[in-house]
Amino acid sequence: MNYNPPLELSSDHESEFNHKNASIIWLHGLGADGYDFAPIVQQLNLAGVRFILPHAPEMAVTRNNGYIMPAWYDVYGLTPISHEDEVGIKISQSYINSLIQNELDRGVPSERIVLAGFSQGGAIALYTALRYPQRLAGVLALSTYMPLKKSLAVEAHVANTKLPIFMVHGVLDEVISLETASLSRELLQDQHYAVSWHEYNMAHNVIPAEINDIRHFLQQILQ
């Protein structure tokens, strides 16, 4: 699988990335790229944080009639959980693990690393974070769901059983339904994860009120 180098940004306008003491790896949604969330990095205005915005590889997406586009895994049915691309999900997990390792090699402790993602990217962020063998700072799951739900109880790593999870969804979302997201939240809560759940009057997008809540969450877990 071919990956272009991720975009690296800071919201405090410092040119020296080596002085960052926390890292946020933020995954875009289906058909987008790492630049999709670059404007939000500036809006968050978090000092001392390195943002890593990776680009998904291009692949044929079955649900979109085989059209080739950036995707973290294939999508088969009208609903994301009807038939899941387990192989593709695990390939993306391995790639995100390598990005985490890059930050560890730079001297950022694992407990200062956040995984974040929107839609399909959020699914990979959730999947990867809960299985990662070292404690992470938290995970942002935006307009998304938990993929491969049945494997979580077996594959989840004890290092992240207390991982703070910020999970948000739009009540008007027609891409990933509120019901699908709510079932994922209930699964996480049933397995005793700390989920901070937020609903917004929006569709499959990001709004200013959500960005403000994201900032507060990140300030809390990275203080």
Q: Would residue 201 count as lying in a domain?
A: yes
pLDDT at res. 184: 96
Whether 1 is covered by a domain: the verdict is no
**pLDDT tens for each residue of 26-41:** 999 999 999 999 999 9
> CB–CB of 24/221 below 8 Å?
no
The answer to whether 173 is a known catalytic residue is: yes
In 3D space, the residue among 98, 129, 133, 135 whose CA is nearest the CA of residue 115 turns out to be 129
Q: How far apart are CA 145 and CA 215, in angstroms?
A: 21
- State pLDDT tens for residues 47-99: 999 999 999 999 999 989 999 999 999 999 766 667 899 999 999 999 999 99
pLDDT tens per residue across span 92-104:
999 999 999 999 9
pLDDT band at 15 (very low <50, low <70, confident <90, very high): very low
CATH of residue 152: 3.40.50.1820
Catalytic residue among 11, 119, 143, 184: 119
For residue 14, which amino acid is it? E
Residue 215 lies in a domain: yes
Q: Tell whether 63 is covered by a domain.
A: yes
Q: Any residues with CB less than 8 A from the CB of 173 and at least 6 apart, and which?
A: 143, 181, 202, 203, 204
Q: Active-site residue among 196, 198, 204, 213? A: 204
Residue 160 structural domain: 7-221
Structurally, the chain folds into a number of domains equal to 1
**Whether 85 is catalytic:** no
Paired strand residues for 165: 139, 195
Q: Does a structural domain hold residue 36?
A: yes
Q: Which two tokens stand for residue 76?
A: 């088969």
Active-site residue (options: 33, 36, 85, 173)? 173
| CA distances in angstroms from 125 to 27, 34, 40, 64, 67, listed in the order given | 7, 14, 18, 23, 24
Q: Is residue 2 part of a domain?
A: no
